């Protein structure tokens, strides 16, 4: 009886050992298969917003800026203003004596053509002046705008009303908004540029004439479109593609792109919301490669 029990116990132990061996073998085989899969990181494709913009440099200028010219040739006299003075329209700035030997004339008055600030006065009292050369510049510094020279390639992309993101080197760390207010009707044939004007939405007293401005002009904004990381795409022979994952395998997918913003790009065709897109490890893939998704 005891002998029979021992035999039965031994048989049970043997069956258990065989079963465990098979399980361990299966686990090892599964682990080996996982190790042989190409690891990739993925995201779920979704919709979002994207902005098309162009960057330019510009200069802050006074909207009203006028050169002051004498009306006659003669000696500059009785200068009554200096740079920085605020003047009113028709205020007398100086006189010109056009008298010559044997001929005496009434002094000709030089008046301010507009109200504003005298930003330049090159005339020196006692010197000779003429109608061909300005003696002063008057600017209305209460009415500033930003002048941009846009290269011909982008000249037709910008329209009145476009929003602009503005920063100034002289005011680091702060961002301002502006709006395009006017565009030159022609291209300058010498520089191949078009003059565009923009104005700050909220006047800023620290912004003064002559400052350099960095501008990012918003051309277009799209909402609820397919947007993916640009780094997930590759282009060869003018064909742009990416890899998606279906049933554990990489699928090479041809896409058509639209607006690009930094590392984001709009997808016009080829992907839809919910697709599993490979964003890391795609350089090791080809169509049909078995993959393992990792964080």
Q: What is the DSSP letter of 40?
A: E
Q: Which domains does the chain have, with CATH numbers?
A: 38-50+223-293 (2.40.420.20), 54-61+142-221 (2.40.30.170), 66-139 (2.40.50.100)
Distance (Å, rounded) from C-alpha 228 to C-alpha 235?
15
List, for residues 196-214, the tens digit of each pLDDT value: 999 999 989 899 999 999 9
Distances (CA, A) of 67 to 112, 119, 127, 139: 9, 10, 18, 9
Distance (Å, rounded) from C-alpha 74 to C-alpha 98?
4
**Once rounded to an integer, what is the mean pLDDT over residues 168-184?**
96
Percentage of the chain modeled with pLDDT above 90: 80
Residue 126: name the closest of 116, 135, 139, 117 by CA. Answer: 135
**What counts of helices (H) and strands (E) characterise the chain?**
1, 22
Q: What is the DSSP letter of 103?
A: B
Residue with tokens 């002998």: 3
- Asked if the model's pLDDT at residue 30 lies above 80, the reply is no
The pLDDT of residue 32 is: 46
- Whole-angstrom Cα Rg for the chain: 38
pLDDT band of 100, cuts 50, 70, 90: confident
Distances (CA, A) of 271 to 77, 125, 252, 267: 77, 75, 11, 7
pLDDT band of 34, cuts 50, 70, 90: low
């Amino acid at each position: 009886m005891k002998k029979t029990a021992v035999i039965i116990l031994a048989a049970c132990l043997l069956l258990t050992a065989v079963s465990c061996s098979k399980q361990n073998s299966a686990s090892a085989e599964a682990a080996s298969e996982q190790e042989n899969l190409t690891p990739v990181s993925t995201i779920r494709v979704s919709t979002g917003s994207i902005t098309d913009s162009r960057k330019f440099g510009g200069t802050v200028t006074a909207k009203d800026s006028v050169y002051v010219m004498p009306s006659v040739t003669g000696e500059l006299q009785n200068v009554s203003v200096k740079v920085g003075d605020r003047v009113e329209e028709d205020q007398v700035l100086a006189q010109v004596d056009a008298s010559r030997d044997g001929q005496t004339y009434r002094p000709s008055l030089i008046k301010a053509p507009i109200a504003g600030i005298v930003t330049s006065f090159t005339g020196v009292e006692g010197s000779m002046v003429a109608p061909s050369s300005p003696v002063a510049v008057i600017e209305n510094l209460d009415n500033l705008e930003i002048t941009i020279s846009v290269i011909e390639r982008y000249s037709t992309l910008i329209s009145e009303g476009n929003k602009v993101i503005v920063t100034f080197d002289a005011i680091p760390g702060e961002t301002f908004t502006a709006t395009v207010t006017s565009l030159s009707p022609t291209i300058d044939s010498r520089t191949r540029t078009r003059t565009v004007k923009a104005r700050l939405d909220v006047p800023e007293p620290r912004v003064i004439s002559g400052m350099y401005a960095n501008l990012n002009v918003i051309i277009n904004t799209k909402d609820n479109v397919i947007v993916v990381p640009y780094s997930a795409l590759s282009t060869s022979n003018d064909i742009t593609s990416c890899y998606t994952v279906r049933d554990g395998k990489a699928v090479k997918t041809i896409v058509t792109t639209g607006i690009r913003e930094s590392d984001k790009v709009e997808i016009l065709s080829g992907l839809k919301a919910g697709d599993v897109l490979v964003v890391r490890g795609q350089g090791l893939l080809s169509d049909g490669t078995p993959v393992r998704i990792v964080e």
